[in-house]
A and B are shown apart, each in its own frame.
Chain A
Amino acid sequence: KAGVTQTPRYLIKTRGQQVTLSCSPISGHRSVSWYQQTPGQGLQFLFEYFSETQRNKGNFPGRFSGRQFSNSRSEMNVSTLELGDSALYLCASSLKVGGDEQYFGPGTRLTVT
C-alpha cells in the first residue's frame, strides 16, 4: 500500500506570493492533518480534516487555509507569504479520528525569500 505522498517536495517562493501544497493520504484513510515544523517552534498543528470537513484548527493566522476533497486528498494554501513561513510542512493521514495512528508524508520544504 502506498504511503502518504506530498507534492511538491521542495518549493521556493517570494514574500507576498501564495502557495498551495498537496497531500494524498493512504488509500482508505479519511482523516488528514497538517503540521508545520520549524527549528524554533518545533512541530505545530495547523488543521485536520475528515470527510471534507475541517474538524480542528491550530493557532495560525487566516493566511493559512486548507480543504479536503471527496477522494480525501487535501490541500493547504498560504497567502501573502512571509519569511517566517519558511518551514517543513507535514501531512498525516489516519483511518479514523480519535487517537488512531497517524502516518506522515515526507513533507514539503517551503523556503520564502
Chain B
Amino acid sequence: GNSVTQMEGPVTLSEEAFLTINCTYTATGYPSLFWYVQYPGEGLQLLLKATKADDKGSNKGFEATYRKETTSFHLEKGSVQVSDSAVYFCALVQGGSEKLVFGKGMKLTVNP
C-alpha cells in the first residue's frame, strides 16, 4: 500500500538556521504530495503541495520539489523563525480518493 516516511525529530534549531525535513514515499502511479503544519493546540494547515513530477510547491518561504526518480518531497526553508515552531507532516493522496496518507510528523522548535 501507499506509505510516507519522514524524519521524526524532534529537531531544535536557532533562528535563521536552514531547515530540511526529508520525506520519501511509496505509491503506485502518481500521487499528489503535500506538506501540512500543525501549530500547538490546532488542526492541520496545508503548507504547500505538488501534483506532478518536478512541480515545486512553495509558501511562506518553504519549498518542496516533487522528485519522481527518488520518490521524495523534501521540505526546505532557508531561514527559520521562532513562529515556524510546529509539527510538520508529509502526506500523499492518490487515485481519486481523499484519503491522505501521512508520515509520522516531525516536531520543530526554533529558539531565538
Contacts and interface: CB of A to CB of B under 8 A. Distances in A.
B98 A97 contact: yes
Interface residues of B, number: 24
Contacts of A35: 100
A106 B43 contact: yes
B43 A90 contact: yes
A50 B94 CA distance: 16
Contacts of B45: 104
Contact of A105 (B31, B43, B46, B93): B43
B99 interface: yes
**How many residues of A sit at the interface, in one of the four size bands?**
20 to 34
Interface string B77-105: 00000000000010001101111111111
Interface string B12-48: 0000000000000000000110101000001111100
Count chain B CB atoms within 10 A of each CB in A31, A48, A97, A99 and give the residue with the most: A99
B51 interface: yes
Given A42-B105, A99-B94, A58 B99 contact: yes
Nearest to B105: A42
A21 B35 CA distance: 26
A55 B97 contact: yes
Contacts of A90: 43-44
A103 B98 CA distance: 11
A4 B44 CA distance: 11
A102 B98 contact: yes
Given A35-B100, A102-B46, 5 more contacts: A31-B98, A33-B99, A50-B98, A99-B31, A101-B49
Interface of A: 4, 31, 33, 35, 42-43, 45, 48, 50, 55-56, 58, 90, 92, 94, 97-107
